[in-house]
Amino acid sequence: MSDERFDDRQFWLPALYQEQWVPMVRLAALLISPARPDLAGAELLVRDELVVMYRDDPTFHSWDHVVSTLRANVTTAARGVHLDDTAIRDRSQQGKAAGISGDRAPRHGTARPDDPGGAPELLRALAGLPHRLRDVLVIKLYAGTRLAETADALGATRKVVRRRRDRALAELCRICDRSDGDELEEALEEQLKQAGDRLQPGDFRAEVLDLARSARQRRSHWGQRLFVVLVLVAALAAGYGLSWLWTMPDDQADPSSSGAVTAGGQAPEPSGSTAISTQDGVEVFYLGRSDGLLYREIRNLPNVGDRLNTAVTAVLSVAPLDPEYTSSWSGGQVNAASLDGDRITLDLSQSAFAGFHSQHQEETAIQQLVYAATAAVDNGENRWVRILVDGSPNLPLIGKPQSDFKRGGASVLGPMWVDSPLAGATASGGLLTISGLVRSGLSPPSWQLYSVSQRKVVDKGTVATGSQHSPWTAWQQEVPVPETAGEYQVILTIGRQKAIKTITVK
């Protein structure tokens, strides 16, 4: 599919179905159970995810981004799906409740044996592993994804994916009494491909297109989607439209402005206004996919009570604009967020912690919250953040911490943050201001402006650094942007570290 059409759902939906329907259905069936692939359940699952993607109409920056989004959605949806017909009927009823109708009678693919014991040894062993381990192998070996693509599908860092792969292979070697992990991996890949190839998905094209175009307003089952719906209603009531849902670079507030809440926890309101409908310049913190370190995006977001609540809710529920960022959080609710002296207290719902599989993952996610909460208040380095779960101080995996949490310091921070431009921004020809922070002690980043259509660097230089505020040094540069419309990449480099922000010049 040509890249000119990836941003129009009238084009990408039929093209996505044509290219990815069969491989995604097969992948979903193997994710549900490698030893007992269920064709009917997988067809309904992928159908529903295609319809949801159409309804959400997200912003894509490439065709690979479209495909990876579907793969990630299918992977997430496949977790927890059971194989009995009752579960399939339940899923059909859920689809009807969400406005997705046209369900078909459950049918099973030729690869589904009546007895899962009839499956090859390695597939039976793989089916017995926890989802977080087996999903890595199914996606990597059956879908043939690269490390970064596997991480994207799982919403994890590359480091985590490597570790899970090694653990999964070690566990399979133990179960199957084998000593050579590489040989076992090759055999497992062959068995997965054979199981997938035996599945012959039906033709749902007309049904998918009809459901996508005529379905009623969907009911979201993910925290992020629910958040967007709620704030959309609030913004419309205040006289705002959809424009604030996608942040543009010229809407950004000055990164040096804290936008702090007052001692009572409420953000100051502008004079002459009785309510704030948006919070500008909110610092939202994410994890780098390649290194698991903290990075930030400065976003304009719908107001949720005050600046503190808005920032914390965004960490839980708002996806990053940059595809190289991810988050350990995948939804959940902020029951309360308050400031009392030097302590910030965040009370989160139990559901916010549902996706954590290790103490390290939970501790890393908490740092996202700590940095966002303290940045929303006043960037106070010495403030403590107390995390509660539905009012309880006992956290999943961690238990009751010995003390409240503080910022982790330089060791958890990425070496360079790019505040402007944001990934996916739109600009005009002329001077474009790029800005951000670099870790103190590092050299100033060099920059390049790369034309995607011309496949060449059109300009380059080194940024000018400004004031130092440990552990950061601010940098800023005006970059001349050609008048020629098209897609460009702003590439910033420090040593081996690169940050790439794709922008569109109109």
CATH of the domain at 441: 2.60.40.10
Looking at residue 110, its pLDDT comes to 38
Q: Are residues 386 and 426 in the same domain?
A: no
CA torsion sign for 397, 157, 408, 383 is negative
Q: Are residues 172 and 113 in the same domain?
A: yes
Residues 240 and 204 in one domain: no
When divided into structural domains, the chain yields a total of 3
Domain boundary (157, 182, 214) is at 214
Q: What tokens does 172 get?
A: 């399979």
- The C-alpha atoms of residue 485 and residue 477 are separated, in whole angstroms, by 21
Backbone angles phi, psi at 106, to 5 degrees: -60, 140
Same domain for 73 and 188, yes or no, is: yes
Residue reference for tokens 């959605």: 73
Spatial separation of the C-alpha atoms in residues 466 and 249, rounded to whole Å: 21
* N-to-C CA span, the chain: 22
**Closest C-alpha among 184, 191, 178, 179 to residue 165:** 184
Per-residue pLDDT, 80: 58
Q: Rg of the Cα trace of the chain?
A: 24
Q: What pLDDT score was predicted for residue 118?
A: 55
Is the domain of 45 the same as that of 67? yes
d(CA 225, CA 218): 10
- Write out residues in the chain with pLDDT < 70, as ranges: 1-7, 80, 82-119, 214-276
Q: How many Å apart are CA 299 and CA 289, to the nearest integer?
A: 20
Question: In this structure, are 408 and 420 located in the same domain?
Answer: no
Q: Are residues 366 and 437 in the same domain?
A: no
* Whether residue 284 is found in the same domain as residue 257: yes
Same domain, 104 and 250: no
Give residue 302's pLDDT.
87
pLDDT number for residue 119: 67
Same domain (yes/no): 103, 37: yes
Residue 476 shares a structural domain with residue 439: yes
305: left (phi over 0), alpha (psi -120 to 50) or beta: left
pLDDT at 253 (0 to 100): 35
The torsion angle over the Cα atoms of residues 44, 48, 50 and 54, rounded to 10 degrees, is 160
pLDDT of residue 304: 83
Range of the domain at 292: 223-412
Query: Do 311 and 437 fall within a single domain?
Result: no
CA distance 184 to 196: 18
